[in-house]
Structure 1
């Protein structure tokens, strides 16, 4: 039986840059990092309150491909207008130039260091 989402894995080309983005820009906490020697990749785990939300994966042969990325990763936030302004101030590339309002909440999309599509969503 499925009880929830464990985490989302995202292929990255620069582990240090991606850790800093998810930690310093998005506010996730760094939880753990190690080399997965059996498949020769580096892994880093970030999340909230000790719960892993994002697994960063670096080192598979070849470049990061669209196939290796997820479509998007959505984070629940409070005060989405403040988050929108903060990302603008930090120079984060925005996909949406304004916040969209839906019957169930508000959202906007932006990009991570490897052009991964990310979303902030504030429920009503």
Structure 2
């Protein structure tokens, strides 16, 4: 297989409550919902290696990148929170045209790790958490 055989399809985020997490991505971040569906059955259970699995999915669009929120049944055990510097830690990165204005417009209940900061690379960044503590990096180049 060569590099040209691969193309990105989506970035997935597993959540415990899809209906309470979706408004953050749709309403707060302004991403468009492009699809909603449920998957179950033996083939799905085998593919995800979870006995009796079914899952509800929402696909959102962010400038050509599909973001998949998924809620599984049965729900697995929650992973311990990880800091950004810990192996296995993950985050979603989204660019915004004006970081300070975007952050000023966030609801008060959206926690940030710090105020926006400009790094040595010249990018301004801030990390926020979704309702389930998943990290989202907002950046302005």
- TM-score (structure 1 length as normaliser): 0.83
Q: How far 1:52 moved relative to its partner?
A: 4.6
Larger Rg: 2
Alignment partner for residue 70 of structure 2, among 31, 43, 57? 57
* Residue equivalent to 2:97: 78
Give SS of 2:101's match.
helix
Q: Which has the higher contact order (CA 8 A, sep 6+)?
A: 1
CA RMSD, 1 decimal:
2.3
- TM-score (structure 2 length as normaliser): 0.74
Can you list the C-alpha shifts for 1:41-68, whole angstroms capped at 9, x where unaligned? 111100146x45210010143244359x
Query: Which is further off, 102-111 or 72-81?
Result: 102-111
* Residue equivalent to 2:23: 20
Uncovered stretches (5+) of structure 1, i.e. residues with no partner:
none
Whole-angstrom distance in 2 between the partners of 1:70 and 1:54: 17
**Count of residues in correspondence between the two structures:** 119
> Contact 1:25–1:90 at 8 Å: present in 2 too?
no
Q: Which has the higher strand share?
A: 1
